[in-house]
């Protein structure tokens, strides 16, 4: 048993030791913030994007860096998960990407505002967050045409175009991989030839008025590459 004076000394000594440990860890953590947050990458675009994010109360629906609401998707790694091209199309008109499904408001953002938001999300996504947030099991379905889709591409002796991975997989499946908003693209080459697909990609609404398929920002070469790839899926 400790005497009162010994107990008092033990308490004061323990408090002092753990206070020093706490202060050391606090100073150490603060010192690592610039490196872990990649603060050197905070550009004027990033600052404007952060202002837009706060101004439109995005955290009222979304979570970012572990804080916010859980009504809409988590955005900490959205740049890695979706990529800048998909984000550009989606932010321009959220409803067009997911007709009658998405609840996201169309803020009618200007092109430069969209670029600022994407820069902000890129900076957030490049932070060193010690593995947070964990990658979901469905990531492969959202970000790449892999697995059976890769086998399908190999059988067609053609690599998967970058634009397909960046844009198409968000809505379409191929070989069981991808989104389920639009129709699956397995065997599309048996139904449509490359010329028809190229015309469709150029202006879907002109081919089928009222279609849910949005017009993607594709160059002529990118359209032809996609059309050739899809036409090979027999």
- Structural domain boundaries in the chain: 39-125, 140-231
Encode burial over 214-224: b for 16+ CB neighbours within 10 A, e otherwise: bebebeeebbb
The predicted structure's pLDDT at residue 211:
82
The CATH architecture annotation of domain 140-231 reads: Orthogonal Bundle (1.10)
Beta strands in 164-209 (DSSP E): 173-174, 177-178
Q: Taking the model in full, what pTM does it have?
A: 0.64
Distance CA(45)–CA(66), nearest Å, equals: 23
The predicted structure's pLDDT at residue 102:
66
Helix and strand totals (H; E) in the chain: 13, 4
**CB-CB neighbours of 160 under 10 Å:** 20
Distance CA(115)–CA(52), nearest Å, equals: 11
Please, are residues 153 and 159 in contact by the beta-carbon 8 Å criterion?
A: yes
Closest CA to 45 of 130, 101, 102, 117: 117
The predicted structure's pLDDT at residue 137:
56
pLDDT one digit per residue (tens) for the chain, 234 residues: 778 888 889 899 999 999 999 999 999 888 888 888 889 999 999 999 999 999 999 999 999 999 999 888 899 999 988 888 889 988 988 877 766 666 788 999 999 999 999 999 999 999 998 888 887 554 444 444 445 444 444 444 468 888 888 888 888 888 888 877 788 999 999 999 999 999 999 998 899 888 878 888 888 999 999 999 999 998
Please, are residues 140 and 132 in contact by the beta-carbon 8 Å criterion?
A: no
39-125 maps to CATH 1.10.760.10: yes
The predicted structure's pLDDT at residue 149:
46
Does 39-125 match 140-231 in CATH topology?
yes
Identify whether 150 is preceded by a cis peptide bond (ω within 30 of 0): no
Rg over alpha carbons for the chain, rounded to the nearest Å, is 25
* Phi and psi angles of residue 104, each rounded to the nearest 5 degrees, phi first: -70, 135
The predicted structure's pLDDT at residue 191:
93
């Amino acid at each position: 048993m400790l005497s009162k004076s010994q107990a008092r000394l033990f308490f004061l000594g323990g408090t002092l030791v753990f206070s020093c440990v706490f202060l050391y860890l606090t100073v150490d953590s603060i010192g690592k913030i610039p490196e872990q947050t990649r603060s050197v990458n905070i550009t004027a675009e990033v600052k404007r994007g952060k202002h837009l994010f706060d101004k439109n109360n995005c955290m009222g629906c979304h979570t970012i860096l572990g804080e916010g609401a859980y009504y809409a998707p988590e955005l900490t790694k959205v740049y890695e998960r979706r990529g800048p091209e998909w984000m550009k199309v989606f932010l321009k008109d959220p409803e067009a990407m997911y007709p009658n499904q998405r609840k996201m408001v169309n803020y009618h953002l200007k092109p430069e505002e969209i670029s600022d938001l994407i820069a902000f999300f890129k900076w957030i996504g490049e932070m060193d967050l010690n593995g947070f947030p964990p990658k979901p099991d469905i990531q492969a379905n959202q970000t790449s045409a892999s697995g059976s889709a890769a086998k399908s591409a190999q059988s067609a002796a053609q690599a998967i175009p970058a634009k397909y991975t960046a844009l198409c997989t968000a809505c379409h499946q191929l070989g069981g991989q991808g989104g389920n908003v639009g129709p699956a693209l397995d065997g599309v080459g048996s139904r449509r030839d490359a010329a028809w697909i190229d015309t469709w990609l150029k202006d879907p609404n002109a081919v089928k008025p009222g279609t849910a398929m949005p017009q993607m920002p594709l160059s002529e070469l990118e359209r032809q590459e996609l059309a050739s790839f899809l036409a090979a899926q027999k």
